[in-house]
Amino acid sequence: MADAAQSKPMDAHIQESGTRRDFLQIAATALTGIGAAVALWPLIDSMNAAKDTLALATAEVDLAPVQLGQRLTVKWRGSPVFIDHRTPEEIQAAEAVDVSTLRDPQTDAQRVKKAEWLIVVGVCTHLGCVPLGQKPTDPRGDYGGWFCPCHGSQYDTSGRIRQGPAPLNLAVPPYQFTTDTTVKIG
């Protein structure tokens, strides 16, 4: 009842469009909306990686004990990093590939700092499984690199995607050789 009584004079205003009241109403609604959206941002951003999580970002690795042909897994930022002490044959195989045939074209030289050390993040670029191939007994796929058991992606001896659903090569983390036999990842 009250509604009906009030709506009469309101209707009269709406007829003559673009009154002062309309303007105030629209402006107030718009600003409230923007204000609410801005107020949401701290909540959303609180879910992004915190400062201490971001600070945990480097790992030092001693390469001296890693034999030729041996592969080592280290943990960096909670994920495995594959370090492969590649044999001359593996290096050659990686360099011989015609880059234009690759899904994610990169030369082997773009992916290593020293040819005998391949360092890549051991996370399949499809949906994040850890590919097999670190142990000598693991399947390595048709390209001698790594084989992802989840959906069958295959990587070559440069960690490049060769077959299967993954879209990208295994990522190369930022790293530096601090001495001849130590590397700092991150």
Partner 1 sequence: MAAAPQQSKIVRWIDHRLPIFTFMRHELNEYPTPRNLSYWWNFGSLSGIMLVIMILTGIFLAMQYTPHVDYAFDSVERIMRDVNFGWLLRYMHMNGASLFFVVVYIHLFRGLYYGSYKEPRELLWMLGVVILLLMMATAFMGYVLPWGQMSFWAAKVITNLFSAIPVVGDGIVKWMWGGFTVGNPTLNRFYSLHYLLPFLIVGVVALHLIALHQHGSNNPLGIDRKGPQDSIPFHPYYTVKDMFGLGVFLIVYAVFVFYLPDALGDPVNYVPANPLQTPLEIVPEWYFLPYYAILRSVPDILFIPAKLAGVLCLFGAIIVLFFLPWLDTSRVRSARFRPVYKWVFWLLVIDVVVLGYCGAHRPEGWFIVAGRLATLYYFLHFIVLFPVIGWLERPLPLPTSISAAVTKKSSAPVAAASSMEKH
Residues classed as catalytic: 151
Residue count at the site for ligand FES (CB under 6 A)?
A: 13
Q: How far is the CB of 53 from partner 1 (least distance, A)?
A: 5
- According to DSSP, the residues that pair with 183 across neighbouring strands are 61, 177
Single out the residue of 68, 65, 61 nearest to residue 116, CA to CA.
Answer: 68
Please tell me whether residue 128 binds partner 1 under the rule CB under 8 A.
yes
Residue count at the site for partner 1 (CB under 8 A)?
A: 25
Q: How far is the CB of 148 from ligand FES (least distance, A)?
A: 3
The dihedral built from the CA positions of residue 105, 108, 111 and 117, taken in this order, carries a sign that is positive
Helix axes 2-15, 20-45, angle to 10 degrees: 110
- In the range 51-110, which residues lie near ligand FES by CB under 6 A? none
Please tell me whether residue 167 binds partner 1 under the rule CB under 8 A.
yes
Alpha carbon distance 140, 135 (integer Å): 9
Those residues whose C-beta lies under 8 Å from the C-beta of residue 34, and which sit 6 or more positions away, are none
Among 165, 171, 177, 184, binds partner 1 (CB under 8 A): 165
Alpha carbon distance 110, 103 (integer Å): 15
Among 71, 82, 153, 185, binds ligand FES (CB under 6 A): 153
In this chain, which stretch among 25-33, 64-72, 120-128, 177-185 interacts with partner 1, using CB under 8 A? Answer: 120-128
Tokens of 35: 């204000």
Q: Which of 76/94 has CB closer to partner 1? A: 76
Three-state SS at 12: helix
Contact set with partner 1 (CB under 8 A): 44, 47-50, 53, 73, 75, 77-80, 122-123, 126-130, 149-152, 165, 167
Contact set with ligand FES (CB under 6 A): 124, 126-129, 148, 150-153, 164-166
